[in-house]
Amino acid sequence: MSSPVADKIPQELTKHSITRIDNYYWLNDRKNPKVIDYLNNENNYTKNKLKPTEKLQKELFNEMKARIKEDDSSVPYFYNDYWYVKKFIKGKDYPVYTRRYKSLESEEEVLVDVNKLAKGHSFYNLGGISISPDNKKLAYSADTISRRLYTTYFLNI
């Protein structure tokens, strides 16, 4: 099986009075059937070439996964009368953001459970969280399509 070769289709791009040629600009069009076919051919080629290493890949994956503490949490930090913690729960893919009022012994308040937000999405990335100075509002951003296009959300907490 020979490796796929992408067609060269020159596209002139100009920014700040500088023009350059991008021969592979056409690959940006995610809805173009030729792009999809090319990517499928690339994936099939890669899968075929790496087939002899499948056992090793599984061993390496399992070894790396075994070294990850699945029920880990961040060091608590104090901000504006609250202790904040980001924690991972065993068997879950995403973190849970929590806080406790004035003391680490206080009742835990779940601010954002990213596992719930990610449900129903094939991709989910939480961009960041910010708490208002009065501790009553939370803003977070999320990308659900893996294009670094974030939507900002606001919650009353």
For residue 70, pLDDT beyond 90: no
Q: Give domain limits for the chain.
A: 11-66, 77-156
CA distance 129 to 139: 6
Greater model confidence, 78 or 72: 78
Residue 71 pLDDT class (50, 70, 90 cuts): confident
What the block records as the tokens of 21 is 């040629």
pTM for the predicted model, two decimal places: 0.74
Residue 102 has a pLDDT of 97
Q: Summarize the confidence of residues 49-72 as an average pLDDT.
A: 94
